[in-house]
Amino acid sequence: MSYLNGSKMCGGYNGVQILNGCSISVDRGQVVVIVGPNGAGKSTAMKALLGIVPLTTGDVALDGKSLGGMDPQSRVNRGIAFVPQTDNIFPTMTVLENLKMGAYLRRDDIGASIEEVFETFPILRTKRGDLGRTLSGGQRQQLAVGRALMSQPTVLMLDEPTAGVSPNVAADLLRQIVALKERGLAVLMVEQNARQALEIADVGYVLVLGENRFTGSGQDLLADHEVRRSFLGG
Amino acid sequence: MDNLLNGLVLFLNFVVVPATSYGAQLALGALGVNLIFGVLRFSNFAHGDTMAFGTMLTILGTWALQSAGFSLGFLPTALAALPLGIAGTILFCLAADRLVYAHYRRQKAAPVVFMMASMGVMFILNGVVRIVIGPNERNFADGERFLVTAQQFKDATGLLEGVTIRTSQALTLAVAVLAVLALFLFLQRTRTGAAMRAFSDNETLALLCGVSPKVVIRTTWIIAATLMTVAGVLYGLDKSFRPFTYFQILLPIFAAAIVGGFGRPVGAIIGGFIVAFSEIALTYAYRKVVLYFLPGSDMGDSLLQLVPTDYKFSISFVILVVILIIAPTGILKAKSSS
């Protein structure tokens, strides 16, 4: 049993079923990537793990305990941090204030965590007093990940962290994300940029129409002839 | 030289001083509108009438204190009754939120639905205030009426014209400055203040950070109710209390909030002063001022008044329309995006 486990999840929005029994699990110290064509339910699967999308059947368990019926906020309190794809920072608050909001529920000293985020993303240290809306796309994503880390999560979920970011910056960001798993975090990522993401994935899931199509290590999936032909463009 | 000074003093007395206190009152009103818009995301049409409600409670408290023989010396007794007015208005706003707005939040209604609901609240308050205290004018200012009288000013300076500063005007400015400072400190320095800014900035993300919407919404109403009551009482002390004028003041308050850009506290303050100065400067008759500056100039019978006082609300309206056409996000936002 993995640390975070979504099993046989079915569900969707407003009565439209998007997930058709897919299962996703991630362990601490692992980077897990969900890829697949548009409309495959990648983001929906992640949002189901977080409790934003209600499940009709199936279950989500964290560390062996079911999260069923729990709202997203309680799941966040249990150590799951989520970085949405867009609108993932507070634009009229400074970088430092953004990070402090990430630690909103913590009552202990957050100085060490801020320092840790600054070490992971040095650009944030130089921009600490700047308003969120003045940051570039890549800096915003770094701030969004930094903000999520401030709650000291055990699971970090990222919805397309490299979307709209230049290729160089995206590569940097992915490298920084890999560094996070070394700290014992369970990292789950949805990526449009499948090839680049699978390179760093310990486990990759290929979803199609809300079902698991292929599962394997990132390297295996990259090497798999059918996966390459169907989803990676040859 | 004396002529110039006299003209200037005349202008100070009839335009700058009254516009400053009126501007501060509008700014307090606009700050409340802004706060509610930022957090609850609707235009609160009940704002003016909630101000009237808070002022009414304060007047009732003032009467009770006065009949008990209580006095604050040269300050108006209403200041002592203000906490009662604020407390009552907070209770009313929290009740209105629970009975009316919470229902539409559960339904995830569109902002325009909230706005229409706030008009319903407005009509109810309208009636309540008229039933309790009546539709007539109430003057509840007591204490020393003037801080500086025209005569004192003339004696001190030897000029023909004088500047009058009423206690209510000085009080308005002092209380407004204190209220604004307190609000800014709260928003910038406290955990709940940061949560309110975060909630107003990005509601979904604030919830993901563990911000409790209940606390944020409750705090917003408490602060807004305080600002509304303070603004209403200051306005009532400065002019006088008549329920209908509090309904009318909604237009300049919204103009001020929109000029500054919705959801921007600093903008609300600037907007309040822009609207107040425009309204008073455009409705003032400049004949006497011009005669001081250019003695002997021939103006016929003209009072040199650009807009008749009866049309003063048209000024707010024109400001509103112009801003919505040229800078729909308000002057501050327009500036920062260029």
- B259-271, pLDDT tens digit by residue? 888 767 888 999 9
Average pLDDT over residues B273-300: 87
Mean pLDDT of B96-105: 96
Q: Please provide the average confidence, as pLDDT, over all residues in chain B.
A: 90
Q: Which of A22-26, A133-137, B264-268 has the lowest mean pLDDT?
A: B264-268
Domain boundaries, chain B: 2-337
Residue A212: which region, alpha, beta or left (left: phi > 0; alpha: psi -120 to 50)? beta
- The architecture CATH gives domain A1-79+153-159+180-234: 3-Layer(aba) Sandwich (3.40)
The pLDDT > 70 percentage for chain A reads 99
Q: Residues B262, B74: contact at Cβ < 8 Å?
A: no
Q: In this complex, which of B194, B202, B204 lies closest to A100 when CB atoms are compared?
A: B194
Residues of chain A found within 8 Å of residue B204, distances taken between Cβ atoms: 84, 87
pLDDT for position B216: 96
Confidence bin at A234 (pLDDT 50/70/90): low
pLDDT of residue A229 exceeding 70: yes
- Count how many pairs of residues, chain A against chain B, have C-beta atoms within 8 Å: 56
- Structure confidence at residue B155 (pLDDT): 87
ipTM: 0.88
Does the pLDDT value for residue B48 go beyond 80? yes
Structure confidence by residue, pLDDT tens digits, B147-180: 888 888 888 888 888 888 999 999 999 999 999 9
Q: What is the pLDDT of residue A230?
A: 77
Q: What is the pLDDT of residues B177-217, one digit of tens each?
A: 999 999 999 999 999 999 999 999 999 999 999 899 999 99
pLDDT of the residue at B305? 84
Considering Cα of B4, then B6, then B8, then B11, what sign does the dihedral take? Answer: negative
> How much is the mean pLDDT over chain A?
90
pTM: 0.89
* Chain A nearest CA to B198, separation (Å): 6
* Contact between A101 and B191 using a beta-carbon 8 Å cutoff: no
Give me the pLDDT at residue A101, please.
Answer: 96
Backbone angles phi, psi at B53, to 5 degrees: -60, -50
Strands A4-13 and A16-26 come out as: antiparallel
Q: How many CB atoms lie within 10 A of CB B211?
A: 23
Closest to B26 measured CA to CA, from B231, B296, B187: B231
Of A72, A82, A90, the CB nearest to B202: A90
Taking CB atoms and an 8 Å limit, are B211 and A104 in contact across chains? yes
Q: Rounded distance, CA A19 to CA A38, Å?
A: 13
Average pLDDT over residues B246-255: 94
From-to residues of CATH 3.40.50.300 in chain A: 1-79+153-159+180-234
Given a cut of 90, whether residue B93 has pLDDT beyond it is yes
Where does residue A145 rank: exposed (0-12), middle (13-18), buried (19+ CB within 10 A)?
Answer: buried
Looking at residue A151, what is its pLDDT? 92
Residue B335 has pLDDT above 60, yes or no: no
A225: pLDDT strictly greater than 90: no
- What pLDDT digit, counting tens, does each position of A55-88 carry? 999 999 999 899 988 888 889 889 999 999 999 9
Specify the pLDDT at position B300. 76
Query: What pLDDT shows up at residue A233?
Result: 66
Residue A216: strand, helix, or coil: strand
Mean pLDDT of A91-112: 94
Q: What is the mean pLDDT of residues B123-140?
A: 94
Q: Write down the CATH number for the domain with range B2-337.
A: 1.10.3470
CB contact under 8 A, B197 and A91: no
Mind listing the pLDDT tens digit for each residue in B50-92?
Answer: 999 999 999 999 999 999 988 888 899 999 999 999 999 999 9
* A187's tokens: 């990292």
Strands B165-166 and B146-148 turn out to be: antiparallel
B197, B201, B208 member nearest A82 (Cβ):
B208
Residue range A42-59: average pLDDT?
91
Give the list of residues 6+ apart from residue A173 with CB closer than 8 angstroms, or none: A138, A141, A142, A145, A161, A162, A165
